[in-house]
Structures are given as structure tokens and as C-alpha cells.
Amino acid sequence: MPASHLLNLGFLEADSGFFVRGGNASTASNLHPEPTRRKLAMISVLISHPTEGLMLFETGAGKEYIWGEQLNDIFARVDYRPEHELENAIAKTGHSINDVKTVIMGHLHLDHAGGLENFVGTGVPICVHEVELKHAYYSVATKADLGVYLPKNLRWELNWQPVHGSSWDIAEGITIRHAPGHTPGLCILQINLRESGTWIFTTDQYHVKENFCDSVPQGWLARDHSEWVRTHQMIRSMAKHTNAKLVFGHCKETLDLYKQAPECYM
């Protein structure tokens, strides 16, 4: 059975309205609410699999945070420490980034796909849903959603391995499930561990715990509301029937509940 390490890849801070619908909205009784901002974690998962070797789920923002002035101002990186760099976070587990055999991408937004730069030209398979890969390239080529997707994260020298359909068993005990809403091709990751049970890593289907626990949809970063609701119903059912632990895409409060690298879950 696999084992997993939770990797902390650093923190962002941005207006709450991006992550929770109605965040910072005015009302008739409160025309000028005090604006709130959220501190968010960037999270990756390193999986040690007995037959497939090291597998990595998502890669963070990448080195030097090359997003441009406007995006850096909107999604400001805060409390930076060198240990948040992907290769350093992996090193805390006793492994090297060069030991990674497979990368699994939940989606290809800039704060999740930036670390793919480490795998350019290496031949390491980059598993991503075909719908997400097509949508990301289209969004950049037509500028329809340029900004959340960046050309530098979509290099042809990466060994793209598209997955298809509603679910895909990457390895024994590891399944990705198509979960559209935040993006058309987003996939969540389900890991079944011998001792700690089932884990569901939701990537940005849920940015913060309120999206799941209170069924409050995402804010300005939402794309397809109807698909998001259907995916939400699916995950709630999965979590109920598997008694899963959930790790949300950027929820610092949830991440802090669990052990982080170098500790691991079995």
C-alpha cells in the first residue's frame, strides 16, 4: 500500500471574494463592509508507491513566482521561505525531486502547474485529464482565459500523458476522478492507505473549507456553477461512504490539522 507526505509549498494572500461567493459583498444594511483577505496554502502530495515509485500530485507556483506585476499584486505571495520550493519540500521527506517517477495534475492553473518546470525534458509522465490539457492550450492560444493558465507551464517538452473518462486508476490504491466546475478538466485524487484510510485531495474544486463544509460555492474564480454543484454532490457522497479525510486546494486551516513533511501517513 502507498504512503503519502503532505508538502507545504508556501502561501498566497488575496481578497476573500475570489474564494467564497459573496465574500466582501455590500448589503443594504452594510454598504461599506470591512474588506477581508485570506491567507491560502499551496499544497502538494508526495506518494511513495510500492510498485510505481514516487508519485507527485500537483507542483505549486514554481520558482521565483513569475506571474507578472498584476497577478502578483492580486495573489500576493507571503511568508516565503526557501523550504517552500518544490525540490526543497520533497527533500524534507528524504527523497530527491529527481526520484519522482510520475506527476499527476489536478488542473493546470498557474499556482498548481508552476513546478512542472522541474520536469521539462526529463521524460517523467505528466498525467492530466485530456479535457484539462485541451482547455489549457485553448485558453492560452486564444487568450480566452490567459492569466490563470500560463504558456510557460504548457511546454511541449513535457511528457504529457492524458487520461480519459470519469475515473482512472493510476496505480493500486490511487484513483483520479474527473470533477469539472472550477475548470472543465479538473480531477480530484483519491488515495486509499492501509492505516489512515481514504484521503481525497480536492485541488481547487474547493479552495477553502467553507466551499465543502457549508456548500458555499467559489467566488470570482468559479467557471461552471452547474458542473461545480454536480461535482460537489459526488464528493459529498464519496466522503460519506468512504469516511474520507479531505484536503482542500488551498485551505491553510485544514492543512494545519494534518501532519506535514517530513512526517507521513501510511
Sign of CA dihedral 207, 109, 114, 104: positive
Domain range enclosing 242: 3-18+37-255
Within a domain: 146: yes
Query: Which comes out higher in pLDDT, residue 177 or 222?
Result: 177
Specify the 3-state DSSP secondary structure of 244: coil
Within a domain: 29: no
Q: Tell me the per-residue pLDDT of 195-205, one tens digit each, with 9 for 90 and over.
A: 999 999 999 99
Determine contact, residues 176/168, Cβ cutoff 8 Å. Answer: yes
Type and span of the H or E element at 43? strand 37-49
Within a domain: 31: no
CATH classification at residue 75: 3.60.15.10
Within a domain: 143: yes
The predicted model scores a pTM of 0.94
How many residues appear in the chain? 266
Q: Which pLDDT belongs to residue 117?
A: 96
Q: Tell me the per-residue pLDDT of 206-250, one tens digit each, with 9 for 90 and over.
A: 999 999 999 999 887 888 999 999 999 999 999 999 999 999 999
Q: Tell me the per-residue pLDDT of 182-193, one tens digit each, with 9 for 90 and over.
A: 999 999 999 999
Query: Which comes out higher in pLDDT, residue 73 or 43?
Result: 43
Give the count of domains, the chain: 1
Within a domain: 141: yes
Within a domain: 234: yes
Q: Tell me the per-residue pLDDT of 156-173, one tens digit each, with 9 for 90 and over.
A: 999 999 999 999 999 999
